[in-house]
Chain A
Amino acid sequence: MRTPLRALRQCAREAWEGLHRNASLSLLAAVAIGIALYIGGLFLLVRFNLERFVRALGSDLQVQIYLADDATAETVERLKNEVLSDPAVEGVATVSRDQARQRFEATFPALRDLARQIGGAPFPASIDVTLRPAYRTVEAIDLLVKSYRKAPGVADIRFDLGWLQRLSGIVALVERGGFAVGALLALAALVSVGATVRLTVLARREEIEIMKLVGATAAFIRAPFLLAAAVQGLLGGALAAGALLLTFRLVVRSEFYRANPFLSIVVGRLPPAPHLAALAAAGALLGLVAAALSLRRAGTF
């Protein structure tokens, strides 16, 4: 009986023969996949960096519960404990009026005099609430605000999620754009790999006919084509990952990058190795799908 290892060896030999016989076409198909994945990879790079930026900003996100002037220490303590027990809350910190003033002066040294000119204690005491990552959403914050807005001792609740939402919107836009452009280019790559498979089938028509005659199974006939296409795809994916790495290096070493700090938000970091490996794997998958569709269309098995 056929052992899996022997079958694999035979399949690899046939696949290599197919690739070798149509070397230039195979290379062309790999490059087509490479270009599609490279463009997709550029979007991935931007999305990765923007998302990272948004996450970093999100981790600083706080909700400030301003305390009423007449709130007693006991009320504040009760409120603090109540907030702390909320599942959305990671931690709380009480900020007294003096601390609030000091914080303002440290943040805006140029306006230090303004606070003194007003006199008294213009900054209200507050409870600064840090949210758990899973709850840094509009809905969760809304719920929190509704729960505590009318609680005893609360004067007002402030948070600023707008800019975070806007940035998240940009990330989503980049993601969608990447998918759209990537899908379009992937389609072109599918056609290219499909054409290579069809030509290889055509070139090996006689051989396939003989294989069928002597009782080769459909899987045995198809497997080398699928393997060859997966290799082309993997090669294309590796090309894309390499080109992405090269592009990244060239960009971060350029004068333009140094002159535009905004660029570090968009392309400051290379996605980690597993992301790049996924790009190569996506190439192999693309090759497999193209070959499977093409073999089905060839309908000779």
Chain B
Amino acid sequence: MIQLFHVTKKYAAATPALSDVSLHIEKGEFVFLTGPSGAGKTTLLRLLFRDEIPSAGQVLVRNENIATMPRRRVPGLRRQIGVVFQDFKLLPRKTVFENVAYATQVIGMPPREQRARTYQVIEMLGLNHRLHNYPEQLSGGEQQRVAIARALVNRPLILLADEPTGNLDPDLALEIMTLFKQINSHGTTVLIATHDREMIRRMQRRVIALENGMLVAGGDTMAELPAGGRA
């Protein structure tokens, strides 16, 4: 589902944010991406939804090199990927329902289906009683659940989460992680960036570790591009 081949990402600073990273994530896997602050976790996630382009190497999502993908095709890629952030990124002027439904509107889903999908995902995340509340009226955990609902409403194949429990207390964090596990059990590939070692220990899933932009563990590295891979 996700493959990185010798990926390097350099910004203006002398040290690259990612250096020669190769990894492989299978369809339906649940993987943690860990490392200290500045290790390159966020950069790696941003490469996966084409918010960044690698300075070198190839990033393959469903066997397609997204680094060379034309810009007009990027929206199509992003419709297959749900993204959740630590700071939730909810629209303050929209209610819970509107925040979630917004993701279906922008991809032009028919209104009836928009409503059905939104209600469905809101119910799945236990937010029925918060439908008409605004983000500021919700707890941190609830806000994160709304963000997850928005990421899931278009039924993505991949769910990326960048420190999704960073702003939550341990109980809420565990609740959110359980949710991710449930989502994964339906076949969605889940990649969570976190530096919460205790959480990783409790979840018992595969871990990819980065340090100073370099892969230090769990990459399942493949040296060469597979023959079927589209560049």
Check: A73 CB closer than 8 A to any chain B CB.
no
Residues of chain B whose beta carbon lies under 8 Å from any beta carbon of chain A: 49, 71-72, 75-79, 83, 89, 91, 102-103, 105-108, 110-111, 150, 154
Q: Is the CB of A210 within 8 A of B111?
A: no
Q: Is the CB of B154 within 8 A of A215?
A: yes
Which listed residue, B72, B111, B150, touches A214 by the CB 8 Å rule?
Answer: B150
Q: How far is the CA of A7 from the CA of B49 in the complex (A)?
A: 25
Q: Is the CB of A216 within 8 A of B106?
A: yes
Check: A69 CB closer than 8 A to any chain B CB.
no
Using known A-B contacts A206-B91, A207-B91, A209-B89, determine if residue A215 contacts B107 with beta carbons closer than 8 Å: yes
Which listed residue, A2, A7, A206, A214, touches B103 by the CB 8 Å rule?
Answer: A214
Check: A260 CB closer than 8 A to any chain B CB.
no
A123 CB contacts on chain B under 8 angstroms: none
Check: A213 CB closer than 8 A to any chain B CB.
yes
Min CB–CB distance A210 → chain B (angstroms): 6
Residues of chain A whose beta carbon lies under 8 Å from any beta carbon of chain B: 1-2, 6-7, 10, 206-207, 209-218, 220
Q: How far is the CA of A211 from the CA of B102 in the complex (A)?
A: 8
B107 CB contacts on chain A under 8 angstroms: 214-216
Known contacts A6-B108, A215-B78, A215-B79; 4 further A-B pairs (Cβ under 8 A)? A6-B110, A210-B89, A214-B103, A215-B106
Which listed residue, A1, A6, A206, A220, touches B106 by the CB 8 Å rule?
Answer: A220
Using known A-B contacts A213-B78, A214-B79, determine if residue A2 contacts B108 with beta carbons closer than 8 Å: yes
Q: Is the CB of B108 within 8 A of A212?
A: no
For the complex of A and B, list the 5 residue pairs with the smallest distance between their C-beta atoms, beginning with the closest.
A2-B108, A215-B79, A216-B106, A215-B78, A214-B103
A218 CB contacts on chain B under 8 angstroms: 71-72, 75
Min CB–CB distance A130 → chain B (angstroms): 62
Q: How far is the CA of A1 from the CA of B110 in the complex (A)?
A: 7
A220 CB contacts on chain B under 8 angstroms: 106, 108
Q: How far is the CA of A116 from the CA of B11 in the complex (A)?
A: 102
